[in-house]
Structure formats: C-alpha cells, structure tokens
C-alpha cells in the first residue's frame, strides 16, 4: 500500500514563481489561538498549475530518505515515546469509537519522517488538512514544542471533537482545529489571519484529486517564504 509521500520540497520549486504570492511575515510573532470553527460561502474550484510534474518512482523521495535513516521502532513505541499520557488517552478515545477512517498510525517510517520534518528549527507554524484521529497533529506538536499546529477537518466523526478537546487541554493555544470543508475554511482562515505563514504543510484531507489540488492551491497562498510541503496518499511523487 502506498502510504506516503508525493512531495516534500519548497513550494517555490513546485510552482512557477510568477504565479506565487507568499506571506513574508514570520509565524513566531503570532499570538497562539485556541480552536475555532469557521464558516464561509462556497468557492469556485481552480485548476492546478501546469508546472507540476509527476512520477511513479519508488517511495520515499531520495530528498526525504535522510529523514528515515536507521532502524525505525514500531509505531506504538514511537508514539508512546512522544507523550505516553496523551497517546494512551487518544487510544482509549479511538478504541471506544470503533473503526476509524484511515490514519497515520499504521506506518512507522511515515511517523518517523513526520517527527523529523516537524523538528526542523525553522518550522514554527504547521498547517494540515485532515485531522481525523489526530495522529499527525500529535506527532508534530510533540516533535516541536515551540510550533503551533493548525488543523483543518470536516469533523464528521465524533472522535474528532474528543481528541481535539484532549489536545486543547494538553497543548493549549499551540493547537487549533478548524471544522468544515477545507475548500472553504482554508481561504477563510487566510483572509482572517493573513499574517500567518505555514512553514510545514501536510495535505492529507479529502481523497478526491480535485480536493487535494484545491488544498495545494490554498496552501500556496498561506505558505511562508521557505516551506516544506508533504502530500500524503498518492501513487508516486511530484517534484
């Protein structure tokens, strides 16, 4: 099963510079905020820039290989090492909820790569589409104690709110969950918080191609000048 990773490069390399408008403010000056819920009017979908090239080469990218060097412990050991108490409570919440949708928690190399990307010193603000069971947010919050994580999710499962409440108690203003269709909530958030620049972005929301494309386009407007983009769940990778 292909679980990761299409791309982890600067958006300036991915898209034509002439087509990019980036925020030049730093996230470190932003006062953290607690979880909020946004609503917005529907937006017209956009086409993905033609500058993107795709490939079906083996995963992970040579560019990313250094982030999973050496022996990788089992997933449960990795996640427990980050925050035993919170991870234990997460597992209880999710177990009580029955089957959950997808999740980062099944692939140890992916978990290790997320840990290492999040811990890069220049990463202050992390933005993701697809909170779901909260594993990726949990990984990044604990891998970088100074970073703020802003997650966007449909919030259609009951366990999403329960895990988000757990994170709000534990991590306070470092964590925000914004509920709704990311096609709407991403540009709405950017319009309300134009000074926020995402240093690390994870596209792991809707599984339709058009949804991922729209998330990419919206994240382009939210990206900091130097940023890392991770696109999950795709056959091959783009550079």
pLDDT in tens, 181-216: 999 999 999 999 999 999 999 999 887 888 999 999
Q: What's the pLDDT at 43?
A: 36
- The larger pLDDT score, comparing residue 35 to residue 123, is at 123
Residue 44: pLDDT band (50, 70, 90) is: very low
Residue 33 lies in a domain: no
Residue 20 lies in a domain: no
Residue 67: pLDDT band (50, 70, 90) is: low
Residue 157 lies in a domain: yes
Q: Are strands 54-55 and 237-238 parallel, antiparallel or unpaired?
A: antiparallel
**Half-sphere exposure at residue 169, Cβ-oriented, CA atoms within 13 angstroms:** 10
CATH label of the domain that carries residue 97: 3.40.50.150
Q: What's the pLDDT at 98?
A: 85
% of the chain residues with pLDDT over 70: 67
SS3 string of 99-167? CCCCCCCCCHHHHHHHHHHHCCCCCCEEEEECCCCCHHHHHHHHHCCCCEEEEEECCCCHHHHHHHHHH
The residue segments making up the domain with residue 185 are 4-9+62-234
Number of domains present in the structure of the chain: 1
Q: What's the pLDDT at 121?
A: 94
Residue 48 lies in a domain: no
The answer to whether the CB of 181 falls within 8 A of the CB of 40 is no
Residue 146 lies in a domain: yes
Segment 94-136, tens digit of pLDDT: 999 988 887 656 789 889 999 999 999 999 999 999 999 999 9
Residue 37 lies in a domain: no
Residue 152 lies in a domain: yes
Residue 234: pLDDT band (50, 70, 90) is: low
Whether residue 151 has pLDDT greater than 80: yes
Say how many C-beta atoms besides its own lie within 10 A of residue 198's C-beta: 27
């Amino acid at each position: 099963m292909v679980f990761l990773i299409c791309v982890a490069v600067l958006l300036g390399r991915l898209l034509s510079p002439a087509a990019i408008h980036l925020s030049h403010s730093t996230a470190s000056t932003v006062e953290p905020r607690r979880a909020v819920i946004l609503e917005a009017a529907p937006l017209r979908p956009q086409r993905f820039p033609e500058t993107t090239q795709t490939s079906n080469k083996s995963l992970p990218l040579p560019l990313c290989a250094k982030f999973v060097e050496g022996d990788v412990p089992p997933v449960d050991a990795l996640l427990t090492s980050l925050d035993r108490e919170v991870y234990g409570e997460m597992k209880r919440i999710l177990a009580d909820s029955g089957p959950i949708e997808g999740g980062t928690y099944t692939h140890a190399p992916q978990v290790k790569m997320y840990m290492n990307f999040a811990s890069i010193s220049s990463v202050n603000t992390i933005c993701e589409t697809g909170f779901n069971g909260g594993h990726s947010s949990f990984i990044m919050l604990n891998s970088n104690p100074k970073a703020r994580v802003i997650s966007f999710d449909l919030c259609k499962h009951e366990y999403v709110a329960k895990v988000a409440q757990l994170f709000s108690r534990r991590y306070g203003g470092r964590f925000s969950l914004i509920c709704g269709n990311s096609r709407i909530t991403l540009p709405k958030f950017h319009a309300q918080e134009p000074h926020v620049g995402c240093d690390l972005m994870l596209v792991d929301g809707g599984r339709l191609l058009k949804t991922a494309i729209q998330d990419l386009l919206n994240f382009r407007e939210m990206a900091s000048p130097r940023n890392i983009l991770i696109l999950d769940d795709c056959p091959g990778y783009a550079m």
